[in-house]
Each structure stands twice: as C-alpha cells, then as structure tokens.
C-alpha cells in the first residue's frame, strides 16, 4: 500500500501543479497584475516553499483517502474529492475574499479551481489505490 500511496501522491502533486499553472499563470494572470500591491514581487516569491506545500498537501490528501475511506472505489474517490474540494475551495476563495481585497473573479476561480483539482485528485487516487487482491509481500509486513 505504501507504493500506491507514494505513486498517488506523486500523480496528484503533478496534476495539481499543472492545473495551478493554468489557473494562476494563465486564467488569472490579468487579475494578479491588477492587484500587484497584494503580492510579493516575482523575484521574492518563495517558489520552493510553494512546491513543498503542494507536495505535503497532496500527501495529506492521499493519506486521508488511504486511511479513512472505505471501500476504495471510484464513487468514494469522487465523493471524497468533491467534499474536500468544497471545504478547501470555499475557504480558499471566499474566505480570502472576505478579508482581503482580491477581485471577485479571483475568489470564484480559486474556489472552482480548488474544487476541480480536488475532484480530479480523488478520482486519480481512487484509480491508483484500489482494493482488491492483497499482495502476500504486503501482508507479511
């Protein structure tokens, strides 16, 4: 199961990284440019920390599924992703919007983007971490 957890974490991390580039680097580029006073200048951005945070988030996301979701199937992966996305997306998008002067389109896109990322993460995790035949080598550990 550890190999599946690590593989699912890597896949979710890569998908979330690509989607974040599309969302933040392409779709919201003009919104970020219009609110530059709220953000660090590009040379001061903590890119390494950003990737580390995303990796830890992917690991936690997959670990919750592996340890707490049963049975491990597509329906539960989709449902888990939907609930996780709603919970994190609403706080990311609208929670930030309630306390910081970001444009509304940014709040909406953060919410919807997080929702889509979590749903895809749940589906991909379900595809990778399937219940089924128990490997004898895994059983002896």
Half-sphere exposure of 93 (CA within 13 A, CB side): 21
What are 94-130's pLDDT values in tens digits? 999 999 999 999 999 999 999 999 999 999 999 999 8
User: What per-residue confidence (pLDDT) applies to 125?
Assistant: 98
User: What per-residue confidence (pLDDT) applies to 27?
Assistant: 96
What are 10-33's pLDDT values in tens digits? 999 999 999 999 999 999 999 999
Which pLDDT band, with edges at 50, 70 and 90, does 131 fall under?
confident
User: What per-residue confidence (pLDDT) applies to 102?
Assistant: 95
Residue environment code for 28-57, b if the CB has 16+ CB neighbours within 10 A, otherwise e: beebeeeeeeeeeeeeeeeeeeeeeebbeb
What are 38-84's pLDDT values in tens digits? 999 888 999 999 999 999 999 999 999 999 999 999 999 999 999 99
């Amino acid at each position: 199961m550890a190999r599946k957890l690590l593989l699912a974490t890597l896949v979710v991390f890569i998908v979330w990284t690509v989607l974040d580039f599309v969302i933040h680097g392409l779709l919201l580029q003009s919104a970020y440019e219009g609110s530059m006073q709220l953000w660090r200048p590009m040379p001061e951005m903590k890119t390494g920390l950003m990737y580390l945070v995303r990796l830890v988030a992917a690991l936690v996301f997959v670990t919750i599924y592996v340890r707490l979701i049963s049975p491990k199937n597509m329906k539960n992966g989709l449902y888990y992703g939907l609930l996780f996305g709603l919970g994190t997306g609403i706080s990311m998008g609208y929670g930030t919007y309630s306390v910081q002067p970001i444009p509304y389109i940014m709040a909406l896109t953060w919410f919807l983007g997080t929702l889509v990322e979590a749903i895809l993460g749940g589906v991909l995790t379900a595809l990778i971490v399937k219940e089924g035949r128990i490997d004898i080598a895994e059983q002896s550990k």
